[in-house]
Amino acid sequence: MRWYSWGKTAIVNFSPARMDDATVARSKGGYAISKAISQGATIYSVWLLPSLHLGNYKNADDAKAKVAQHLDESKQ
């Protein structure tokens, strides 16, 4: 799966280049991984857009693995 930068602290699995932020936020079925600092530690949050939080992870690879798992489960 290919990931694209979305701002300074997030990546998405679709190209947002031709969309404004409002269109991206209303997308259904796309995934986003956002990076944040919480209590001094970096966390990576996985989102099924527009608003379903799928969890927080310690690194980007674990977050990407969660997206792959969620995609596999949704195909069944």
d(CA 12, CA 6): 6
Domain range enclosing 58: 4-75
pLDDT of residue 20: 65
pLDDT band at 51 (very low <50, low <70, confident <90, very high): confident
Tokens 């857009």 -> residue: 49
Contact 70, 55 (CB under 8 A): no
Total structural domains within the chain: 1
pLDDT of residue 27: 61
pTM for the structure as a whole: 0.81
Whole-angstrom CA distances from 64 to 14, 18, 40, 41 are 14, 23, 22, 19
pLDDT above 60 (res 6): yes
Identify the DSSP state of 36.
Answer: E
pLDDT band at 25 (very low <50, low <70, confident <90, very high): low
